[in-house]
Amino acid sequence: MNERKITVLLVDDERLARAELRRLLAVHPQVEIVGEAASAADAMTQIGKLQPDLLLLDVQMPGASGFDLLAALDHAPDVIFCTAFDQYALQAFEVSALDYLQKPVQAARLAAALARAGARVQAAPKPAPRKVFIKDGERCWFVALDDIRLLESEGNYTRVFFAAQQPLMLRSLSQLEERLDPQLFFRANRRQIVNLAHISRVAPNASEGLDLHLADANTTLVEVSRRRVQQFKAITSL
């Protein structure tokens, strides 16, 4: 059975750095380089068009950094950072990125990172779970949308609840709502969107709305406003 190739986009403002990555990748027949980008803006366009499995991404670039690029994406591919600097991902990324390679990139380290990328590509269901990149201060996460149980408005920001984390995302709740699947994410009230898959119990409340109990450590309670009750019942067949 033939394995699917890993489609890769090279993102680095230095032409020689991109050429060196091409040279290193040439010995990996499972890798298909689908494009190159010399800036975050160019990469945004190409990611939308090419939908690569993997980014080989520099951090410091003119105009916008690699972090800025990821934060601007609606859905983030897997990432291997390739950068001359060691101070960024060592603490900020924890286990989010597949790897963090310092230039000059070592062939053995790149091969090991590509093996992890290949394992993800082959194991991923079709379609693979969509992910978002969240940056809050110095901390960053790649999060599958399926793992987000609640989004809560805080002005022009949105607090995102997943696992034990609650970072702020620099996008409004309305901006995020436009990009979410309405069959999976429900706007319960003015301030909150809930992932229907994370609801453990539904009960009527005294305000003629509904109380949604989420399956998390805090048994979070989300109120469905009275005017949204019928919409909730229609979506969930209650």
CATH of the domain at 13: 3.40.50.2300
Does residue 186 lie within any of the structural domains? Answer: yes
Does residue 1 lie in a domain region?
Answer: no
Looking at the structure, do residues 164 and 90 belong to the same domain, yes or no? no
Is 134 part of a structural domain of the chain? no
Question: What string of pLDDT tens digits covers the 238 residues of the chain?
Answer: 467 899 999 999 999 999 999 999 999 999 999 999 999 999 999 999 999 999 999 988 999 999 899 888 888 889 999 988 776 555 446 546 788 898 999 999 999 999 999 988 887 665 566 888 888 887 888 888 999 999 999 999 999 999 999 999 989 999 999 989 999 999 999 999 999 999 999 999 998 999 999 988 777 999 999 999 999 999 988 6
DSSP 111-129: HHHHHHHHHHHHHS-SSPP
In a domain, 171, yes or no: yes
Q: What pTM did the predictor assign?
A: 0.78
Domain ends where: 88, 105, 128? 128
Contacts of residue 9, defined as CB under 8 A and 6 or more positions apart, other chains included, come to 33, 34, 35, 36, 37, 43, 46, 47, 50, 52, 54, 55, 56, 77
Q: Give yes or no: residues 221 and 148 share one domain.
A: yes
Half-sphere exposure of 184 (CA within 13 A, CB side): 14
Judge contact between 9 and 47, C-beta under 8 A.
Answer: yes
The verdict on 57 and 147 lying in the same domain is: no
Contact, 108 vs 85, CB < 8 A? no
Residue 75 DSSP class: S
- Do residues 70 and 79 lie in contact, with contact meaning Cβ atoms separated by under 8 Å? yes
| In the block, residue with structure tokens 């399956």 | 215
Instruction: Tell me what pLDDT residue 105 has.
Output: 95
The confidence score (pLDDT) of residue 89 equals 55
Residues 171 and 193 in one domain: yes
Asked if 111 and 144 sit in the same domain, the reply is: no
Q: Tell whether omega for the bond before 129 is within 30 degrees of 0, i.e. cis.
A: no
Residue 159 belongs to some domain of the structure? yes
97 with 24, same domain?
yes
Number of folded domains that form the chain? 2
Rounded CA-CA distance 36/52 in Å is 11
Going by their DSSP bridges, the two strands 31-37 and 54-57 should be labelled as unpaired
Domain containing 197 — which CATH number?
A: 2.40.50.1020
- Residues whose CB is less than 8 angstroms from the CB of residue 147 and which lie 6 or more positions away in sequence, other chains included: 162, 163
Task: Give residue 229's domain range.
Answer: 140-236
Among 128, 160, 192, the domain boundary falls at 128
Domain boundary among the residues 128, 161, 194 is at 128
Q: Is residue 62 part of a domain?
A: yes
Residues 100/112, Cβ–Cβ less than 8 Å: no
Mapped onto helix, strand or coil, the DSSP state of residue 103 is: coil
CA 104, chain centre distance (Å):
27
Cα gap 113→30, rounded to integer Å: 13
- Amino acid at the residue 210: L
CA neighbor of 8 nearest in space, from 24, 133, 109: 24
Q: Looking at the structure, do residues 124 and 192 belong to the same domain, yes or no?
A: no
